């Protein structure tokens, strides 16, 4: 890792703080994860800009501010078991891994899943497991989860994900149509679900059985 990478990361942390991210553990985590390692070499010099960047296959690595806002909303203490739906580059999984005990991250696209998995292993994120599959159905084998982060948008939260959330657990997801969503924080309290709107965002669509099925069908042939 170059020293310029470190100073660009420090600048990014200052920017996130100015933009309203206030949880010091979250800021420190984003200050530790080498985002340049999660984008192609051609984008290395843009890795610490506070913007989403392309990672291939029409997908993106999320904007650092949005990653920070999502993990901040999950209020992780370091003891949690977390499910991430939409591994993409693996950057969000690395940030979660800095703040929780265990992270399971599911990615639908096989190539992205294998690149992210190798990358996280190389960076010694031993508490992350990347699985290839349809994350709209969650991953029942390791449920319930203390927190769930969904990094692709859907008109509503896939029911299986809510079923796999522990009582008292938190789920954050972009909810709404493909072009314009709101980041919603859900908190499960027994049979009730409290929802809080964290503001407007823009994510790629969540495909799969419990996601946007129309798009999924068109992908199959």
- Distance between first and last Cα of the chain: 42
Sole window of 4-12, 26-34, 88-96, 120-128 interacting with ligand SAH (rule: CB under 6 A): 88-96
Among 106, 128, 148, 184, interactor with ligand SAH by CB under 6 A: 106
91 lies in the site for ligand SAH, by CB under 6 A: yes
Torsion of CA 200, 202, 207, 210, to 10 degrees: 0
3-state helix, strand, coil in the chain (%, to 5): 40, 30, 35
Closest CA to 29 of 113, 105, 125: 125
Indicate the residue among 27 and 103 with the shorter CB distance to ligand SAH.
Answer: 103
Sole window of 9-17, 26-34, 134-142, 176-184 interacting with ligand SAH (rule: CB under 6 A): 134-142
Residues 30-69 that bind ligand SAH (CB under 6 A): 59-62
* Distance (Å, whole) CA 71 – CA 67: 6
Residue with tokens 């292993």: 121
Q: Is 34 helix (H, G, I), strand (E, B) or coil?
A: coil
144: preceding bond cis by omega (within 30 degrees): yes
Sole window of 1-9, 25-33, 83-91, 163-171 interacting with ligand SAH (rule: CB under 6 A): 83-91
Give the active site residue among 8, 62, 81, 149: 62
What mask, x for binding ligand SAH by CB under 6 A, covers residues 16 to 35? --------------------
* Distance (Å, whole) CA 205 – CA 153: 5
Indicate the residue among 81 and 151 with the shorter CB distance to ligand SAH.
Answer: 151
Closest CA to 76 of 28, 25, 121: 25
Catalytic residue check, 62: yes
204 lies in the site for ligand SAH, by CB under 6 A: yes
81 lies in the site for ligand SAH, by CB under 6 A: no
Residues making contact with ligand SAH (CB under 6 A): 59-62, 85-86, 88-89, 91-92, 106-109, 112, 134-136, 151-152, 204, 206-208, 211
């Amino acid at each position: 890792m170059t020293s310029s990478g470190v100073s660009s990361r420090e600048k990014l942390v200052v920017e996130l703080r100015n933009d309203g991210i206030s949880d010091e553990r979250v800021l420190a985590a984003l200050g530790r994860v080498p985002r340049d390692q999660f984008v192609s070499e051609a984008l290395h010099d843009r890795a610490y800009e506070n913007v989403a960047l392309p990672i291939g296959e029409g997908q993106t690595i999320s904007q650092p501010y949005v990653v920070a806002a999502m993990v901040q909303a999950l209020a992780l203490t370091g003891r949690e078991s977390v499910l991430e739906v939409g591994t993409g580059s693996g950057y969000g999984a690395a940030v979660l891994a800095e703040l929780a005990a265990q992270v399971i991250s599911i990615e639908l696209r096989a190539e992205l899943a294998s690149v992210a998995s190798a990358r996280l292993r190389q960076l010694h994120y031993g508490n992350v497991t990347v699985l290839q599959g349809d994350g709209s159905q969650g991953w029942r084998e390791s449920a319930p989860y203390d927190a769930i982060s969904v990094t692709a948008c859907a008109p509503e939260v896939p029911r299986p994900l809510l079923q796999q959330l522990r009582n008292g657990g938190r789920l954050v997801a972009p909810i709404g149509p493909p072009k314009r969503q709101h980041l919603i924080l859900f908190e499960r309290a027994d049979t009730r679900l409290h929802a809080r709107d964290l503001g407007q965002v823009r994510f790629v669509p969540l495909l799969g059985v419990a996601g946007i099925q129309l798009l999924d069908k068109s992908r199959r042939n």
